[in-house]
Structure 1
Protein backbone atom coordinates (compact mmCIF):
# COMPACT_ATOMS: atom_id res chain seq x y z
CA UNK A 1 0.00 0.00 0.00
CA UNK A 2 1.46 3.34 -0.99
CA UNK A 3 1.68 6.17 1.47
CA UNK A 4 -0.60 9.19 0.96
CA UNK A 5 0.89 12.40 -0.37
CA UNK A 6 0.07 16.00 0.44
CA UNK A 7 -0.73 17.71 3.75
CA UNK A 8 -3.66 16.38 5.72
CA UNK A 9 -4.04 13.17 3.72
CA UNK A 10 -5.43 10.26 5.73
CA UNK A 11 -5.34 6.49 5.25
CA UNK A 12 -8.94 5.33 5.49
CA UNK A 13 -8.47 1.82 4.11
CA UNK A 14 -10.10 -0.80 6.40
CA UNK A 15 -7.98 -3.17 8.44
CA UNK A 16 -7.83 -6.72 7.07
CA UNK A 17 -7.24 -8.61 10.33
CA UNK A 18 -9.98 -11.24 10.74
CA UNK A 19 -9.76 -12.61 14.32
CA UNK A 20 -11.90 -15.73 13.84
CA UNK A 21 -12.12 -16.25 17.61
CA UNK A 22 -14.53 -13.29 17.77
CA UNK A 23 -17.41 -15.15 16.12
CA UNK A 24 -20.42 -15.56 18.43
CA UNK A 25 -19.11 -13.27 21.16
CA UNK A 26 -20.89 -10.22 22.54
CA UNK A 27 -19.65 -6.66 22.99
CA UNK A 28 -21.05 -3.51 24.54
CA UNK A 29 -19.87 -0.22 23.02
CA UNK A 30 -20.84 3.08 24.64
CA UNK A 31 -21.06 6.26 22.61
CA UNK A 32 -21.76 4.09 19.56
CA UNK A 33 -24.25 6.26 17.69
CA UNK A 34 -21.53 8.01 15.70
CA UNK A 35 -17.81 8.62 15.39
CA UNK A 36 -15.35 6.09 16.75
CA UNK A 37 -18.03 4.19 18.65
CA UNK A 38 -19.95 3.46 15.45
CA UNK A 39 -16.71 2.36 13.76
CA UNK A 40 -15.96 0.02 16.66
CA UNK A 41 -19.43 -1.51 16.48
CA UNK A 42 -19.17 -2.01 12.72
CA UNK A 43 -15.73 -3.61 12.89
CA UNK A 44 -16.73 -6.02 15.62
CA UNK A 45 -20.01 -7.02 13.97
CA UNK A 46 -18.20 -7.58 10.68
CA UNK A 47 -16.14 -10.22 12.50
CA UNK A 48 -19.15 -12.04 13.93
CA UNK A 49 -19.52 -10.21 17.25
CA UNK A 50 -23.01 -9.31 18.44
CA UNK A 51 -22.89 -5.70 19.55
CA UNK A 52 -25.06 -3.70 21.93
CA UNK A 53 -24.45 -0.12 20.87
CA UNK A 54 -25.40 2.29 23.66
CA UNK A 55 -25.71 6.04 23.41
CA UNK A 56 -27.45 8.89 25.19
CA UNK A 57 -29.38 9.53 21.97
CA UNK A 58 -31.53 6.42 21.59
CA UNK A 59 -33.03 7.66 18.32
CA UNK A 60 -29.64 8.23 16.74
CA UNK A 61 -28.38 4.90 18.08
CA UNK A 62 -31.33 3.07 16.55
CA UNK A 63 -30.68 4.75 13.20
CA UNK A 64 -27.01 3.83 13.34
CA UNK A 65 -27.77 0.22 14.28
CA UNK A 66 -30.20 -0.08 11.36
CA UNK A 67 -27.66 1.40 8.96
CA UNK A 68 -24.88 -0.89 10.16
CA UNK A 69 -27.05 -4.00 10.00
CA UNK A 70 -27.98 -3.18 6.42
CA UNK A 71 -24.32 -2.76 5.48
CA UNK A 72 -23.38 -5.97 7.28
CA UNK A 73 -26.08 -8.00 5.54
CA UNK A 74 -23.80 -8.51 2.56
CA UNK A 75 -21.18 -10.27 4.70
CA UNK A 76 -20.95 -13.95 5.60
CA UNK A 77 -22.24 -14.56 9.14
CA UNK A 78 -21.91 -11.07 10.59
CA UNK A 79 -22.90 -10.20 14.12
CA UNK A 80 -25.99 -8.19 14.94
CA UNK A 81 -25.99 -4.60 16.17
CA UNK A 82 -28.78 -3.66 18.58
CA UNK A 83 -29.43 -0.25 20.08
CA UNK A 84 -29.75 0.78 23.71
CA UNK A 85 -29.91 4.08 25.54
CA UNK A 86 -27.40 5.00 28.21
CA UNK A 87 -26.43 8.01 30.27
CA UNK A 88 -22.93 6.90 31.25
CA UNK A 89 -22.97 9.07 34.36
CA UNK A 90 -25.57 6.75 35.90
CA UNK A 91 -24.41 3.35 37.22
CA UNK A 92 -27.86 1.78 36.97
CA UNK A 93 -28.03 2.51 33.24
CA UNK A 94 -24.78 0.60 32.67
CA UNK A 95 -26.33 -2.34 34.49
CA UNK A 96 -29.47 -2.02 32.36
CA UNK A 97 -27.36 -2.21 29.19
CA UNK A 98 -25.52 -5.23 30.58
CA UNK A 99 -28.84 -6.93 31.27
CA UNK A 100 -30.02 -6.11 27.75
CA UNK A 101 -26.89 -7.78 26.33
CA UNK A 102 -27.43 -10.84 28.49
CA UNK A 103 -31.10 -11.08 27.58
CA UNK A 104 -30.44 -10.69 23.87
CA UNK A 105 -27.22 -12.66 23.49
CA UNK A 106 -26.62 -14.54 26.75
CA UNK A 107 -23.10 -13.31 27.44
CA UNK A 108 -20.76 -10.30 27.63
CA UNK A 109 -17.22 -10.85 26.38
CA UNK A 110 -16.08 -7.32 25.51
CA UNK A 111 -16.94 -3.87 26.87
CA UNK A 112 -15.65 -0.68 25.24
CA UNK A 113 -15.99 2.50 27.29
CA UNK A 114 -15.96 4.92 24.38
CA UNK A 115 -18.44 7.66 25.35
CA UNK A 116 -16.82 10.99 26.13
CA UNK A 117 -17.00 14.78 25.79
CA UNK A 118 -14.36 17.23 24.56
CA UNK A 119 -14.87 20.65 26.21
CA UNK A 120 -12.81 23.77 25.62
CA UNK A 121 -12.02 26.45 28.21
CA UNK A 122 -8.87 28.18 29.37
CA UNK A 123 -7.81 27.08 32.84
CA UNK A 124 -8.97 30.27 34.55
CA UNK A 125 -12.37 29.98 32.84
CA UNK A 126 -13.27 26.36 33.63
CA UNK A 127 -16.55 26.40 35.50
CA UNK A 128 -17.63 23.96 38.19
CA UNK A 129 -20.33 22.72 35.82
CA UNK A 130 -17.80 22.01 33.07
CA UNK A 131 -15.23 20.18 35.19
CA UNK A 132 -17.97 18.17 36.92
CA UNK A 133 -19.57 17.18 33.61
CA UNK A 134 -16.22 16.24 32.07
CA UNK A 135 -15.11 14.08 34.97
CA UNK A 136 -18.55 12.54 35.29
CA UNK A 137 -18.80 11.47 31.64
CA UNK A 138 -15.16 10.74 30.86
CA UNK A 139 -14.05 9.16 34.14
CA UNK A 140 -17.08 8.01 36.11
CA UNK A 141 -18.58 6.66 32.89
CA UNK A 142 -15.53 4.42 32.46
CA UNK A 143 -15.65 3.24 36.08
CA UNK A 144 -19.35 2.43 36.02
CA UNK A 145 -19.01 0.64 32.70
CA UNK A 146 -16.15 -1.49 33.98
CA UNK A 147 -18.10 -2.30 37.15
CA UNK A 148 -21.15 -3.44 35.18
CA UNK A 149 -19.02 -5.46 32.79
CA UNK A 150 -17.01 -7.16 35.53
CA UNK A 151 -20.16 -8.34 37.30
CA UNK A 152 -21.11 -10.46 34.29
CA UNK A 153 -17.88 -11.34 32.49
CA UNK A 154 -16.12 -14.69 32.49
CA UNK A 155 -12.33 -15.18 32.63
CA UNK A 156 -10.79 -14.32 29.27
CA UNK A 157 -13.03 -11.31 28.72
CA UNK A 158 -11.66 -7.85 28.01
CA UNK A 159 -12.43 -4.18 28.61
CA UNK A 160 -11.05 -1.35 26.50
CA UNK A 161 -11.22 2.27 27.66
CA UNK A 162 -10.68 5.38 25.58
CA UNK A 163 -7.91 7.58 26.91
CA UNK A 164 -5.97 10.09 24.79
CA UNK A 165 -2.45 11.37 24.22
CA UNK A 166 -3.86 14.37 26.09
CA UNK A 167 -3.39 12.23 29.19
CA UNK A 168 0.32 13.04 28.99
CA UNK A 169 0.46 16.09 26.68
CA UNK A 170 -0.96 19.40 27.91
CA UNK A 171 -3.06 21.31 25.39
CA UNK A 172 -4.04 24.93 25.92
CA UNK A 173 -7.76 25.27 26.58
CA UNK A 174 -8.23 21.56 27.29
CA UNK A 175 -7.44 21.44 31.00
CA UNK A 176 -10.63 19.63 31.97
CA UNK A 177 -10.33 17.16 29.10
CA UNK A 178 -6.63 16.43 29.66
CA UNK A 179 -7.24 15.89 33.36
CA UNK A 180 -10.07 13.46 32.66
CA UNK A 181 -8.04 11.42 30.21
CA UNK A 182 -5.07 11.23 32.60
CA UNK A 183 -7.52 9.84 35.13
CA UNK A 184 -8.78 7.27 32.62
CA UNK A 185 -5.24 6.09 31.95
CA UNK A 186 -4.54 5.61 35.64
CA UNK A 187 -7.96 4.10 36.32
CA UNK A 188 -7.26 1.57 33.57
CA UNK A 189 -4.15 0.42 35.44
CA UNK A 190 -6.08 0.12 38.70
CA UNK A 191 -8.86 -1.87 37.03
CA UNK A 192 -6.34 -4.16 35.36
CA UNK A 193 -4.73 -4.99 38.70
CA UNK A 194 -8.00 -5.72 40.49
CA UNK A 195 -9.99 -7.35 37.69
CA UNK A 196 -7.02 -9.53 36.85
CA UNK A 197 -8.16 -11.63 39.81
CA UNK A 198 -11.20 -12.54 37.70
CA UNK A 199 -9.18 -13.16 34.55
CA UNK A 200 -10.48 -9.96 32.94
CA UNK A 201 -8.03 -7.83 30.97
CA UNK A 202 -8.31 -4.02 30.94
CA UNK A 203 -6.43 -1.75 28.55
CA UNK A 204 -6.89 1.67 27.01
CA UNK A 205 -6.29 3.34 23.67
CA UNK A 206 -4.77 6.84 23.51
CA UNK A 207 -5.53 8.43 20.12
CA UNK A 208 -3.79 11.53 18.88
CA UNK A 209 -4.91 13.61 15.91
CA UNK A 210 -7.58 11.36 14.37
CA UNK A 211 -9.78 12.50 11.47
CA UNK A 212 -13.18 12.47 13.20
CA UNK A 213 -15.95 14.97 13.91
CA UNK A 214 -14.36 15.69 17.29
CA UNK A 215 -11.17 16.95 15.60
CA UNK A 216 -12.79 18.58 12.57
CA UNK A 217 -11.60 21.93 13.91
CA UNK A 218 -8.00 20.88 13.15
CA UNK A 219 -8.66 20.44 9.44
CA UNK A 220 -10.76 23.62 9.29
CA UNK A 221 -7.96 25.76 10.79
CA UNK A 222 -4.91 25.89 8.46
CA UNK A 223 -2.61 26.91 11.30
CA UNK A 224 -3.84 24.12 13.57
CA UNK A 225 -3.53 21.60 10.75
CA UNK A 226 0.03 22.64 9.99
CA UNK A 227 0.92 22.40 13.67
CA UNK A 228 -0.55 18.89 13.82
CA UNK A 229 1.40 17.81 10.76
CA UNK A 230 4.59 19.32 12.20
CA UNK A 231 4.35 17.58 15.59
CA UNK A 232 3.34 14.17 14.24
CA UNK A 233 6.46 12.30 13.06
CA UNK A 234 4.43 10.57 10.32
CA UNK A 235 3.27 14.05 9.18
CA UNK A 236 -0.36 13.13 8.62
CA UNK A 237 -3.56 12.75 10.58
CA UNK A 238 -4.70 9.32 11.68
CA UNK A 239 -7.93 7.70 10.52
CA UNK A 240 -10.63 6.02 12.59
CA UNK A 241 -9.62 2.71 10.99
CA UNK A 242 -6.19 3.12 12.53
CA UNK A 243 -7.81 3.22 15.98
CA UNK A 244 -10.05 0.27 15.15
CA UNK A 245 -7.00 -1.94 14.53
CA UNK A 246 -5.52 -1.60 18.04
CA UNK A 247 -9.00 -1.98 19.55
CA UNK A 248 -9.46 -5.32 17.79
CA UNK A 249 -6.00 -6.44 18.86
CA UNK A 250 -6.60 -5.59 22.52
CA UNK A 251 -9.82 -7.62 22.56
CA UNK A 252 -8.31 -10.57 20.70
CA UNK A 253 -6.51 -13.70 21.83
CA UNK A 254 -3.36 -12.14 20.38
CA UNK A 255 -3.37 -9.81 23.41
CA UNK A 256 -4.34 -12.41 26.01
CA UNK A 257 -1.28 -11.54 28.15
CA UNK A 258 -1.62 -7.77 27.71
CA UNK A 259 -3.36 -5.82 30.47
CA UNK A 260 -2.98 -2.49 32.22
CA UNK A 261 -1.52 -0.74 29.19
CA UNK A 262 -2.37 2.32 27.15
CA UNK A 263 -1.61 2.00 23.45
CA UNK A 264 -0.87 5.33 21.78
CA UNK A 265 -2.33 5.69 18.29
CA UNK A 266 -0.81 9.06 17.50
CA UNK A 267 1.70 8.77 14.69
CA UNK A 268 4.47 9.14 17.29
CA UNK A 269 3.45 12.60 18.52
CA UNK A 270 3.92 11.75 22.18
CA UNK A 271 7.68 11.55 21.54
CA UNK A 272 8.17 15.07 20.20
Structure 2
Protein backbone atom coordinates (compact mmCIF):
# COMPACT_ATOMS: atom_id res chain seq x y z
CA UNK A 1 0.00 0.00 0.00
CA UNK A 2 1.38 3.44 -0.81
CA UNK A 3 1.75 6.26 1.71
CA UNK A 4 -1.34 8.35 2.34
CA UNK A 5 0.58 11.53 3.14
CA UNK A 6 1.46 12.63 -0.37
CA UNK A 7 4.76 14.06 0.85
CA UNK A 8 8.05 13.84 -0.98
CA UNK A 9 10.96 11.91 0.42
CA UNK A 10 14.43 12.87 -0.83
CA UNK A 11 16.60 9.85 -1.42
CA UNK A 12 13.82 7.30 -1.04
CA UNK A 13 14.15 4.77 -3.82
CA UNK A 14 11.43 2.34 -2.79
CA UNK A 15 8.42 3.94 -1.07
CA UNK A 16 6.52 0.64 -0.89
CA UNK A 17 8.91 -2.02 0.41
CA UNK A 18 7.66 -5.58 0.50
CA UNK A 19 6.75 -6.69 4.01
CA UNK A 20 6.82 -10.32 5.09
CA UNK A 21 3.66 -12.37 4.92
CA UNK A 22 2.45 -14.13 8.05
CA UNK A 23 -0.42 -16.50 7.15
CA UNK A 24 -1.37 -17.01 10.79
CA UNK A 25 -2.55 -13.40 11.03
CA UNK A 26 -5.53 -13.85 8.71
CA UNK A 27 -8.81 -13.77 10.61
CA UNK A 28 -7.41 -11.87 13.57
CA UNK A 29 -8.58 -8.51 14.89
CA UNK A 30 -6.70 -5.29 15.61
CA UNK A 31 -7.35 -1.85 17.05
CA UNK A 32 -5.21 0.99 15.66
CA UNK A 33 -5.41 4.47 17.20
CA UNK A 34 -4.49 7.62 15.32
CA UNK A 35 -5.57 5.86 12.15
CA UNK A 36 -7.08 8.67 10.10
CA UNK A 37 -3.83 9.41 8.27
CA UNK A 38 -0.08 8.89 8.23
CA UNK A 39 1.37 5.79 9.83
CA UNK A 40 -1.90 4.78 11.46
CA UNK A 41 -3.69 4.62 8.11
CA UNK A 42 -0.80 2.65 6.60
CA UNK A 43 -0.89 0.23 9.53
CA UNK A 44 -4.64 -0.31 9.12
CA UNK A 45 -4.28 -0.87 5.37
CA UNK A 46 -1.34 -3.25 5.71
CA UNK A 47 -3.04 -5.36 8.35
CA UNK A 48 -6.33 -5.51 6.46
CA UNK A 49 -4.47 -6.57 3.30
CA UNK A 50 -3.26 -9.59 5.28
CA UNK A 51 -6.74 -10.59 6.40
CA UNK A 52 -6.82 -8.77 9.74
CA UNK A 53 -10.04 -6.95 10.58
CA UNK A 54 -9.26 -3.48 11.92
CA UNK A 55 -11.03 -1.02 14.16
CA UNK A 56 -9.42 2.24 13.05
CA UNK A 57 -9.81 4.92 15.70
CA UNK A 58 -9.09 8.64 15.63
CA UNK A 59 -10.32 11.79 17.35
CA UNK A 60 -11.29 13.14 13.92
CA UNK A 61 -14.43 11.08 13.31
CA UNK A 62 -15.16 12.30 9.78
CA UNK A 63 -11.61 11.79 8.58
CA UNK A 64 -11.18 8.29 10.01
CA UNK A 65 -14.50 7.12 8.57
CA UNK A 66 -13.48 8.47 5.16
CA UNK A 67 -10.13 6.69 5.47
CA UNK A 68 -11.81 3.41 6.41
CA UNK A 69 -14.24 3.68 3.49
CA UNK A 70 -11.39 4.39 1.09
CA UNK A 71 -9.33 1.48 2.36
CA UNK A 72 -12.27 -0.92 2.10
CA UNK A 73 -12.85 0.18 -1.50
CA UNK A 74 -9.18 -0.27 -2.37
CA UNK A 75 -9.08 -3.69 -0.70
CA UNK A 76 -12.19 -4.83 -2.57
CA UNK A 77 -10.68 -3.75 -5.90
CA UNK A 78 -7.24 -5.26 -5.23
CA UNK A 79 -6.39 -8.59 -6.81
CA UNK A 80 -5.08 -10.77 -3.98
CA UNK A 81 -5.24 -14.43 -3.11
CA UNK A 82 -6.11 -13.71 0.51
CA UNK A 83 -9.45 -12.39 1.65
CA UNK A 84 -8.86 -8.91 3.10
CA UNK A 85 -10.07 -7.88 6.50
CA UNK A 86 -12.68 -5.20 7.05
CA UNK A 87 -11.77 -1.72 8.31
CA UNK A 88 -14.23 0.16 10.51
CA UNK A 89 -13.56 3.81 11.31
CA UNK A 90 -14.66 5.08 14.72
CA UNK A 91 -14.08 8.18 16.81
CA UNK A 92 -12.09 7.85 20.02
CA UNK A 93 -10.33 10.31 22.31
CA UNK A 94 -7.27 8.45 23.60
CA UNK A 95 -7.11 10.64 26.70
CA UNK A 96 -10.39 9.11 27.91
CA UNK A 97 -10.07 5.63 29.40
CA UNK A 98 -13.72 4.84 28.69
CA UNK A 99 -13.17 5.42 24.95
CA UNK A 100 -10.52 2.69 24.92
CA UNK A 101 -12.82 0.31 26.73
CA UNK A 102 -15.52 0.99 24.17
CA UNK A 103 -13.05 0.30 21.35
CA UNK A 104 -12.13 -3.05 22.87
CA UNK A 105 -15.75 -3.98 23.45
CA UNK A 106 -16.74 -2.97 19.94
CA UNK A 107 -13.89 -4.97 18.41
CA UNK A 108 -15.16 -8.05 20.21
CA UNK A 109 -18.77 -7.22 19.35
CA UNK A 110 -18.07 -6.64 15.64
CA UNK A 111 -15.47 -9.33 15.01
CA UNK A 112 -15.74 -11.75 17.92
CA UNK A 113 -12.22 -11.34 19.29
CA UNK A 114 -9.29 -8.98 19.92
CA UNK A 115 -5.73 -9.99 19.09
CA UNK A 116 -3.67 -6.86 18.41
CA UNK A 117 -3.63 -3.31 19.77
CA UNK A 118 -1.46 -0.56 18.27
CA UNK A 119 -1.18 2.62 20.37
CA UNK A 120 -0.25 4.96 17.53
CA UNK A 121 -2.03 8.25 18.36
CA UNK A 122 0.25 11.06 19.45
CA UNK A 123 1.00 14.78 19.30
CA UNK A 124 4.27 16.60 18.55
CA UNK A 125 4.28 20.04 20.22
CA UNK A 126 7.06 22.61 20.01
CA UNK A 127 8.34 24.95 22.72
CA UNK A 128 11.72 25.76 24.17
CA UNK A 129 12.09 24.33 27.66
CA UNK A 130 11.66 27.67 29.41
CA UNK A 131 8.46 28.29 27.46
CA UNK A 132 6.69 24.96 27.98
CA UNK A 133 3.30 25.91 29.39
CA UNK A 134 1.28 23.79 31.81
CA UNK A 135 -1.37 23.13 29.20
CA UNK A 136 1.23 21.89 26.68
CA UNK A 137 2.98 19.45 28.99
CA UNK A 138 -0.37 18.30 30.35
CA UNK A 139 -1.86 17.67 26.91
CA UNK A 140 1.29 15.92 25.69
CA UNK A 141 1.40 13.53 28.63
CA UNK A 142 -2.34 12.86 28.40
CA UNK A 143 -2.24 11.95 24.70
CA UNK A 144 1.19 10.35 24.39
CA UNK A 145 1.44 8.56 27.73
CA UNK A 146 -2.02 8.18 29.26
CA UNK A 147 -3.35 7.27 25.82
CA UNK A 148 -0.90 4.35 25.69
CA UNK A 149 -1.65 3.22 29.22
CA UNK A 150 -5.44 3.30 28.82
CA UNK A 151 -5.22 1.50 25.47
CA UNK A 152 -3.01 -1.24 26.91
CA UNK A 153 -5.30 -1.65 29.90
CA UNK A 154 -8.39 -2.04 27.73
CA UNK A 155 -6.60 -4.43 25.39
CA UNK A 156 -5.38 -6.62 28.23
CA UNK A 157 -8.89 -6.91 29.67
CA UNK A 158 -10.25 -8.31 26.40
CA UNK A 159 -7.35 -10.23 24.85
CA UNK A 160 -6.72 -13.91 25.22
CA UNK A 161 -3.21 -15.29 25.79
CA UNK A 162 -1.18 -14.77 22.64
CA UNK A 163 -2.32 -11.20 22.14
CA UNK A 164 0.17 -8.46 21.26
CA UNK A 165 0.32 -4.75 22.03
CA UNK A 166 2.65 -2.37 20.19
CA UNK A 167 3.23 1.19 21.39
CA UNK A 168 4.73 3.99 19.32
CA UNK A 169 7.72 5.48 21.08
CA UNK A 170 10.39 7.50 19.24
CA UNK A 171 14.14 7.90 18.92
CA UNK A 172 13.38 11.08 20.88
CA UNK A 173 12.92 8.82 23.92
CA UNK A 174 16.71 8.67 24.17
CA UNK A 175 17.82 11.75 22.20
CA UNK A 176 17.20 15.40 23.02
CA UNK A 177 15.58 17.51 20.34
CA UNK A 178 15.73 21.23 21.00
CA UNK A 179 12.25 22.67 21.38
CA UNK A 180 10.67 19.24 21.87
CA UNK A 181 11.12 18.82 25.61
CA UNK A 182 7.51 17.84 26.28
CA UNK A 183 7.50 15.38 23.38
CA UNK A 184 10.86 13.78 24.28
CA UNK A 185 9.75 13.39 27.89
CA UNK A 186 6.50 11.72 26.85
CA UNK A 187 8.24 9.26 24.53
CA UNK A 188 10.81 8.34 27.18
CA UNK A 189 7.84 7.56 29.42
CA UNK A 190 6.28 5.39 26.70
CA UNK A 191 9.50 3.40 26.32
CA UNK A 192 9.70 2.67 30.04
CA UNK A 193 5.95 2.08 30.35
CA UNK A 194 6.26 -0.53 27.60
CA UNK A 195 8.77 -2.44 29.71
CA UNK A 196 6.53 -2.26 32.77
CA UNK A 197 3.51 -3.47 30.83
CA UNK A 198 5.50 -6.32 29.32
CA UNK A 199 6.53 -7.54 32.77
CA UNK A 200 3.02 -7.40 34.22
CA UNK A 201 1.03 -8.53 31.18
CA UNK A 202 3.35 -11.48 30.68
CA UNK A 203 1.28 -13.24 33.34
CA UNK A 204 -1.67 -12.96 30.94
CA UNK A 205 0.30 -14.32 27.99
CA UNK A 206 0.23 -10.90 26.32
CA UNK A 207 3.34 -9.41 24.71
CA UNK A 208 4.07 -5.67 24.79
CA UNK A 209 6.71 -3.99 22.63
CA UNK A 210 7.33 -0.58 21.13
CA UNK A 211 8.66 0.92 17.92
CA UNK A 212 10.87 4.02 17.96
CA UNK A 213 10.69 5.78 14.58
CA UNK A 214 13.11 8.46 13.50
CA UNK A 215 12.47 10.84 10.60
CA UNK A 216 9.48 9.28 8.84
CA UNK A 217 7.65 10.81 5.88
CA UNK A 218 4.35 11.79 7.52
CA UNK A 219 2.41 14.94 8.34
CA UNK A 220 4.33 15.09 11.64
CA UNK A 221 7.59 15.69 9.74
CA UNK A 222 6.21 18.16 7.20
CA UNK A 223 8.01 20.95 9.09
CA UNK A 224 11.32 19.26 8.28
CA UNK A 225 10.58 18.98 4.60
CA UNK A 226 9.38 22.56 4.33
CA UNK A 227 12.57 23.94 5.96
CA UNK A 228 15.59 23.43 3.68
CA UNK A 229 18.07 23.81 6.56
CA UNK A 230 16.16 21.37 8.76
CA UNK A 231 15.88 18.86 5.92
CA UNK A 232 19.59 19.11 5.14
CA UNK A 233 20.39 18.52 8.81
CA UNK A 234 18.00 15.55 9.00
CA UNK A 235 19.50 13.90 5.93
CA UNK A 236 23.00 14.52 7.28
CA UNK A 237 22.42 12.91 10.69
CA UNK A 238 20.67 9.84 9.24
CA UNK A 239 23.37 7.40 8.10
CA UNK A 240 21.13 6.21 5.25
CA UNK A 241 20.68 9.89 4.23
CA UNK A 242 16.97 9.76 3.56
CA UNK A 243 13.68 9.90 5.38
CA UNK A 244 11.89 6.66 6.12
CA UNK A 245 8.44 5.76 4.85
CA UNK A 246 5.46 4.65 6.94
CA UNK A 247 5.63 1.32 5.13
CA UNK A 248 9.13 0.84 6.51
CA UNK A 249 7.71 1.19 10.01
CA UNK A 250 4.92 -1.24 9.19
CA UNK A 251 7.38 -4.07 8.49
CA UNK A 252 8.75 -4.17 12.06
CA UNK A 253 5.22 -3.69 13.41
CA UNK A 254 4.06 -6.72 11.46
CA UNK A 255 6.93 -8.77 12.86
CA UNK A 256 6.15 -7.76 16.45
CA UNK A 257 2.50 -8.78 16.02
CA UNK A 258 3.31 -12.09 14.34
CA UNK A 259 4.07 -15.50 15.78
CA UNK A 260 7.67 -15.00 14.67
CA UNK A 261 8.00 -12.64 17.66
CA UNK A 262 6.08 -14.77 20.14
CA UNK A 263 9.08 -14.82 22.53
CA UNK A 264 9.81 -11.10 22.12
CA UNK A 265 8.38 -8.73 24.73
CA UNK A 266 9.48 -5.59 26.53
CA UNK A 267 11.65 -4.37 23.65
CA UNK A 268 11.83 -1.26 21.50
CA UNK A 269 12.80 -1.50 17.83
CA UNK A 270 14.35 1.66 16.38
CA UNK A 271 13.30 2.39 12.80
CA UNK A 272 15.48 5.44 12.20
CA UNK A 273 17.98 4.80 9.44
CA UNK A 274 20.66 4.59 12.13
CA UNK A 275 20.27 8.16 13.39
CA UNK A 276 20.36 7.11 17.06
CA UNK A 277 24.04 6.31 16.62
CA UNK A 278 25.05 9.75 15.35
> Which stretch has the larger CA shift, 231-240 or 25-34?
231-240
- Cα distance per residue 1:131-170 (max 9 Å; x no partner): 0000000000000000000001111110000000000000
Stretches of structure 2 that go unaligned for 5 or more consecutive residues are: 1-8
SS of match in other structure, 1:82: strand
| Structure 2 SS opposite 1:9 | coil
RMSD: 0.9
Conservation of the 8 A alpha-carbon contact between 1:205 and 1:247: yes
Aligned length: 266
TM-score, normalization by structure 1: 0.96
SS in 1 for 2:175: coil
Match for 1:9 among 11, 24, 40? Answer: 11
Q: Which sections of structure 1, spanning at least 5 residues, go unmatched? A: 1-6
Alignment partner of 1:155 out of 147, 152, 161: 161
Question: Which residue of the partner structure matches residue 56 of structure 2?
Answer: 53
Displacement, 1:60?
0.8
Partner of residue 95, structure 1: 101
Q: Give runs of aligned pairs for residues 261-272 of structure 1, distance below 5 A.
A: 261-272=267-278
| TM-score, normalised relative to structure 2 | 0.94
For the residue of structure 1 that corresponds to 2:55, the secondary structure is strand
Counterpart of 2:118 in structure 1 is 112
Separation (CA, whole Å) in 2 of partners of 1:23 and 1:155: 17
> SS of the counterpart of 1:87?
coil
1:104-143 equivalences under 5 Å are 104-143=110-149
SS of 1:241 mapped into structure 2: helix
Shift >2 Å, 4+ stretches: none
- Partners in 2 of 1:176 and 1:265 — Cα distance? 21
